[in-house]
Amino acid sequence: MRVSLDASDEPQLSAGAAGADRVRALATVALDAMAQTAAARTGPIPAGGLPAVAAALDGIELLPHQGVGEAAALDELTRILTAGSVDPAHPWCAAHLHGPTLAVAAAADLVGSVLNPSMDSWDQAPVASALERELTATLARLCFPERDQPDAVVTSGGTESNLLGLLLAREHGRTRLVCGRNAHHSVARAAWLLGLPAPRLIDTDAGRMRADLLDPTGDEVVVATAGTTDTGAVDPLPEIAAAARRAGAWLHVDAAYGGAALFSDRLAPRLAGLEHADSVAVDLHKFGWQPIAAGILATRNPITALDVRADYLNAGDDTEAGIPDLLGRSIRTSRRPDCLKIAVTLRALGRRGLAMLVERCCALAQEVAREARRHPGLHLWGEPTLSTVLVRPVRGDVAAVRRRLLEDGTAVVGRATIDGQVWLKLTLLNPRATIDDYRGLLDLVASTT
Ligand SMILES: Cc1ncc(COP(=O)(O)O)c(C=O)c1O
């Protein structure tokens, strides 16, 4: 059905059949604007750096007295966003754990925006809360296949998952942290937020925590990383788990990046030992092709420490009458149904489909590393464990090379400082990219001054 989108129209709601027509018409405006603008783009990031990008918003008054109308505003800002964003699907956009999204997940996210269930009480999310339960149970079993009652909650990402993991540890009497120097900054920040002392830091070797230096105590929570931000390395989980178990310490594994390897029978052994953790963070918006946010905190035992009473959401008599109590599933109150896009993706692709995508990215990283090793103008940091490759040009200022590529709009590569030396980081998350996409980038990195 054709729906008129006059500027004078009353704003329409998105619900119901009429709402669906309206959303479809507006989505067409947005999709057309994205497609047309994207076709005119030449690189993974606009050239010209900050001033050029910020200038795109010149003259756009965000709260005019008289609105410009839905279609006009959507078209205008979609074009600006499309032109001025990085394109995480471009193979040369490889700086961060920030990947392209699957079309099916993006479409599912639209459903969530229209239906708008809020995950803090059953009467706002009757079936979505049941779906979330199924999803978290499924992902909990992926992390803890041998456990009877593993649990999981949906989070906004690794930062919240790490905070929650450490909160659970604290509630179980572990009040001091120990982690590798390679741990994500959100771990130390979580300690600060929770009023715990700054973490005891363990040295690393080849990007991995040295388990022989760990020597934990029973009041500590050990944080290991499965897929570090800088190198994608996986800490020696079996040794760390054994040391934690001997001491009676809590073990939290930050698998925000590496957790996706669990979908693959071939790659899962790289995370061996993770199943001994007490809590595990996994982010499907990093390696899992989900729109942000799609975080999970999985635990080996049921989560009860977050339980809280708020009469308007989970009155005791309602709970006794059988109405599910959702407040203990998060530290947030209102919450988007992020479970929906993840559930649709898992069901659509299945474990095999997801494994294939993860395996492709990891195989690509091996190929890129092989090319880099052979390249006379490059040093390779080491073998990739997951899908991160670190290189540095033999000549030239590494950080300046990165900024030059950014400024020119040619490539978005990351940086990692290891043992005092700066490396360029390629985090390969595009399962459709091939080695042919990267030969030119390696040459460019080697020759840029
Ligand atoms: C290993 C690791 N843990 C946690 C995080 C934080 O994740 P988020 O940005 O989703 O909060 C990151 C972010 O890159 C990460 O690399």
**How far apart are the C-alpha atoms of 4 and 87, rounded to whole Å?**
31
**How far apart are the C-alpha atoms of 212 and 225, rounded to whole Å?**
16
Given pLDDT bands bounded at 50, 70 and 90, which one contains residue 7?
confident
Please determine, for residue 1, whether its predicted confidence score (pLDDT) is greater than 70: no
Q: Which residues contact 323 (CB under 8 A, 6 or more apart)?
A: 122, 123, 314
Are 290 and 409 members of one domain? no
Given pLDDT bands bounded at 50, 70 and 90, which one contains residue 110?
very high
Are 234 and 208 members of one domain? yes
Index of the ligand 1 atom closest to the CA of residue 292: 10
Helices then strands (H, E): number in the chain? 13, 14
Are 314 and 365 members of one domain? no
> Distance from the CA of 163 to the center of ligand 1, in angstroms?
11
| Tokens found for residue 167 | 């909160």
Q: What is the DSSP letter of 192?
A: H
Protein residue whose Cα sits closest to atom 16 of ligand 1: 229
Are 292 and 196 members of one domain? yes
**How far apart are the C-alpha atoms of 104 and 79, rounded to whole Å?**
22
Tell whether 425 is covered by a domain.
yes
Summarised one tens digit per residue, pLDDT across range 17-58 is 999 999 999 999 999 999 999 999 989 999 988 888 899 999
**How far apart are the C-alpha atoms of 415 and 95, rounded to whole Å?**
7
Inter-axis angle of helices 103-115 and 338-374, to 10 degrees? 150
Global pTM value: 0.97
- Pocket lined around ligand 1, Cβ cut-off 6 Å: 97, 157-159, 162, 184, 186, 225, 229, 254, 256-257, 283, 295
Please determine, for residue 406, whether its predicted confidence score (pLDDT) is greater than 70: yes
Summarised one tens digit per residue, pLDDT across range 261-277 is 999 999 999 999 999 99
Tell whether 10 is covered by a domain.
no
> Distance from the CA of 226 to the center of ligand 1, in angstroms?
11
- What is the residue type of 140? A
CATH number reported for the structural domain that contains residue 375 in this entry: 3.90.1150.10
Tell whether 95 is covered by a domain.
no
Q: In which element (H, E) is residue 220 found? A: strand 220-225
Q: Provide the 10 A C-beta neighbour count for residue 6.
A: 9
Sign of CA dihedral 60, 66, 68, 74: positive
Number of domains into which the chain is organized = 3
Q: Provide the 10 A C-beta neighbour count for residue 272.
A: 13
Q: What is the DSSP letter of 219?
A: T
Are 153 and 235 members of one domain? yes
Q: Which of 98, 413, 398, 97 is nearest to 232 (CA)?
A: 97
Q: Which of 308, 286, 305 is nearest to 295 (CA)?
A: 286
Are 43 and 124 members of one domain? no
Q: How open is the CA angle 52-55-59, to the nearest 5 degrees? A: 165
Judged on CB neighbours under 10 Å (0-12, 13-18, 19+), 49 is middle
**How far apart are the C-alpha atoms of 80 and 93, rounded to whole Å?**
19
Are 200 and 333 members of one domain? yes
3-state secondary structure 249-265: CEEEEEECCHHHHHHCC
Domain final position from 300, 323, 349: 349
pLDDT of residue 2: 61
Are 332 and 382 members of one domain? no
> Distance from the CA of 340 to the center of ligand 1, in angstroms?
21
Are 329 and 362 members of one domain? no
Index of the ligand 1 atom closest to the CA of residue 227: 1
Tell whether 411 is covered by a domain.
yes
Are 319 and 384 members of one domain? no
The domain in which residue 29 lies consists of 16-85
pLDDT of residue 5: 80
> Distance from the CA of 183 to the center of ligand 1, in angstroms?
10
What is the DSSP code string of 296-323? EEEESS---TT----HHHH-HHHHHTT-
Protein residue whose Cα sits closest to atom 12 of ligand 1: 158
> Distance from the CA of 95 to the center of ligand 1, in angstroms?
14
Residue 424, SS3?
strand
**How far apart are the C-alpha atoms of 209 and 200, rounded to whole Å?**
12
Protein residue whose Cα sits closest to atom 5 of ligand 1: 158
Please determine, for residue 4, whether its predicted confidence score (pLDDT) is greater than 90: no
Tell whether 101 is covered by a domain.
no
Are 303 and 378 members of one domain? no
Please determine, for residue 444, whether its predicted confidence score (pLDDT) is greater than 90: yes
Are 168 and 284 members of one domain? yes
Tell whether 26 is covered by a domain.
yes
> Distance from the CA of 409 to the center of ligand 1, in angstroms?
25
Domain final position from 306, 325, 349: 349
CATH number reported for the structural domain that contains residue 296 in this entry: 3.40.640.10
Tell whether 8 is covered by a domain.
no
Domain final position from 285, 319, 349: 349
Q: In which element (H, E) is residue 55 found? A: helix 49-55
pLDDT of residue 431: 98
Please determine, for residue 116, whether its predicted confidence score (pLDDT) is greater than 70: yes
Only one residue has tokens 């706002």, namely: 124
pLDDT of residue 50: 87
The pLDDT mean for the chain works out to 97
Summarised one tens digit per residue, pLDDT across range 122-175 is 999 999 999 999 999 999 999 999 999 999 999 999 999 999 999 999 999 999
Tell whether 97 is covered by a domain.
no
